[in-house]
Amino acid sequence: ARERLAELLEGFGLAADTPLSNWIDGGLVAGDGEQITLTNPATGEALVSYHDAGATLIERATQAATRGQREWMALTASERGRRMHAALRGLEGHEEALAQLESVVAGKPIRDCRAEVGKVREMFEYYAGWCDKQHGEVIPVPTSHLNYVRHVPYGVVGQITPWNAPMFTCAWQLAPAIAAGNGAVLKPSELTPFSSVVIAMLLETGGQGLPKGLINIVNGLGKTTGAALTDHPTISKLVFVGSPQSGRMIAEAGARRLVPSVLELGGKSANIVFADAKLDEAVAGAQAAIFAAAGQSCVAGSRLLIERSVFEQVTTRLARAAEQIEVGLPSEEATRMGPLQNSRQFDQVMRMIDAAVAAGARLLTGGKRPAGLPEEAQGYFIAPTVLVDVTPDMEIAQQEVFGPVLVAMGFDDEAEAIRLANETRFGLAGAVWSQDVARAHRVAGQLRAGTVWINSYKAISVMSPFGGFGDSGFGRSSGLEGLREYTVPQSVWVET
C-alpha cells in the first residue's frame, strides 16, 4: 500500500516523499510545522509523513481566498454557475485514482470510495445550478420606501472536516460556499489530508473554471492548523463537521470573535422496528444502517429499538446477517467492510464494547477481530458486533461508538419506543419501520432528529437539508438551507 500510495501521490504531482500537503493560492505547498505520520488502517504499518501547516500558511491561504473571492464576485452569477460546471471537467479521468488514494489513506473499501467521488460531482453540479437562482425578495414595508433583501456572501469562510467521509464532506461544504459567492479555506482531518487537496487542485486548475485562490486546503492538527484557522480575523463564518467535543471548541472560538458557526456533529440514531414491519427489509436496512462504513458514519443506526414480540427473531437474524458481511482489505473489490480508520478509534470502540459487557450487556456476535482475514490485515479490524441485554443508561446506549457496534433494546408500545429513541443528547437521524402508515408518520413527527426515514435508512441527497438537534449540532447543510448558511440577508431601503 505504501508503494501504491507513493505512486498515486506522484501521479497527482504531490511528490511521494513528504508530500506537498496544502493547496494554497492555486499551487501545491509543503507544510511548515511538525511532522505527522499516517498509518495504513488495514495493515497498521507507517504509510507516509507530511508537515502540519502553521499560522504563516493560514495567512497566505486567507489572503488568497480574499483575492479569489473578489475575482469570483466580479463575474455574473450565471458565469459563476457555468464555471462551477466547467471546474468539474478537471475531475474527468482522475476519478479512479482519487478513489484509490482515499481507499489507501482512509482504509475504506474501494467501492465506497468510488461512490464518494460520484458524490463530489453531484454536489458541485447541484450547487452550480443555484448560482443564478439566489434572488432576494421585495418587502411591502408600510412606508414610502422600496425595501428589498439580497443574500450576500460572508467573504471568506473557514471549514473543518473529519476523516470518515473526507471527499464527501469537502465537496458538501465547498460547493455551497462558492455557489453563494465566498472564498474558502478548508482543513480536512489530519488523518485524511490528501483527497481534499487533489479535489481542490483538479477543480481549480483542470477545468479552467475557478479563480486562483478561491478554494484553499490546509492540512494539520486541530490544535495547530485548525485553531489558527478558526482564530484568523479574515474568517467570517465557520462550518465544522466532526465530534461534539471539537465542535464545542470551534463554536467557542467563533464566539470569542463573534463569528457564527454551523456544527454538523455526531449521532446515536434510533432505528425503530415495529412488529408489523416487513421484517426482511427491516433487518437488511438495520444491517446497512450500522455496518456500512464499519459504523463510522454520523448517521449510523447504532440503536436498534425492536418491539418485544419480534425482538428475538430480529436480533437473531441480524446477528446471522452480520456474520455474512465480507470484511477484508479495502483494496479488494469484494470487501464490504474495512477496518476502523485509526488506532485511537479502534481502542475506543474495543473499550466501549468491553465496558458494555462488564455492565451486563451480552454479545450476540462480534466484539473481536474478525476471523479469516488475510495475513497482512494486522490493522484496526473489528467484526460486526451486536449487543443485547442493554439498558438505556449504559454508556454504549448513550455515547457515539463510531464503529460497527449495534445495541438492540426492546419496547412494548409506541410511547415507549418514542421515549427510548429521544432518550439521548444527540438528535441527528432516526428511522421507523412499520406498515401502519399513520403510526409511521406519527412516530416520525415525534422524533427529535434532523432526519427521519420511514421503511428505509440512510437515503441522503444534497437537495434535502441535513443537520442535528442537541449534541448533533446546529445549522443545516445541503439544499437551499445549506446554501443560505453561506450568505447574510442584507436589507436595502430606497426612499421613493
Contacting residues toward ligand NAD, per CB under 6 A:
160-165, 169, 187, 189-190, 221-223, 226-227, 230, 241-243, 246, 249-250, 264-267, 298, 400, 402, 428
Q: Which is nearer to ligand NAD, 156 or 319 (CB)?
A: 156
Q: Is 252 a catalytic residue?
A: no
Cβ atoms of residues 426 and 269 within 8 Å? yes
CB of 145 closer than 8 Å to CB of 495:
yes
Give the shortest CB-256-to-ligand NAD separation in angstroms: 12
Which of residues 335 and 477 has its CB atom nearest to ligand NAD in the complex?
477
Minimum CB distance to ligand NAD smaller for 187 or for 317: 187
**Which ranges in 364-485 belong to alpha helices (H)?**
395-398, 414-422, 437-446, 479-484
Alpha-helix runs per DSSP H in 359-448: 395-398, 414-422, 437-446
CB atoms within 10 A of CB 26: 18
Smallest separation (angstroms) from ligand NAD to the CB of 259: 13
Between 249 and 373, name the residue whose CB sits nearer to ligand NAD.
Answer: 249
CB of 192 to ligand NAD, least distance (A): 8
Residue among 11 and 222 whose Cβ is closer to ligand NAD: 222
Comparing C-alpha atoms, which of 228, 160, 167 is closest to residue 190?
A: 160
Query: From the CB of 462, what's the least distance to ligand NAD, in Å?
Result: 12
State the number of CA atoms in the 13 A half-sphere of 50 facing the CB: 29
DSSP string of 21-46? -EEETTEEE---S-EEEEE-TTT--E
Measuring CA to CA, which residue among 101, 100, 105 is closest to residue 49? 105
Q: Which of 116, 190, 204, 264 is catalytic?
A: 264
d(CA 369, CA 358): 19
List the Cα angle 455/461/462 in 5-degree steps.
160
Whether 396 and 387 have beta carbons less than 8 Å apart is answered as: yes
- Minimum separation from the CB atom of position 438 to ligand NAD (A): 30
User: Does residue 137 sit in helix, strand or coil?
Assistant: strand
Nearer to ligand NAD, 243 or 316 (CB): 243
CB of 162 to ligand NAD, least distance (A): 3
**Residues with active-site annotation:** 264
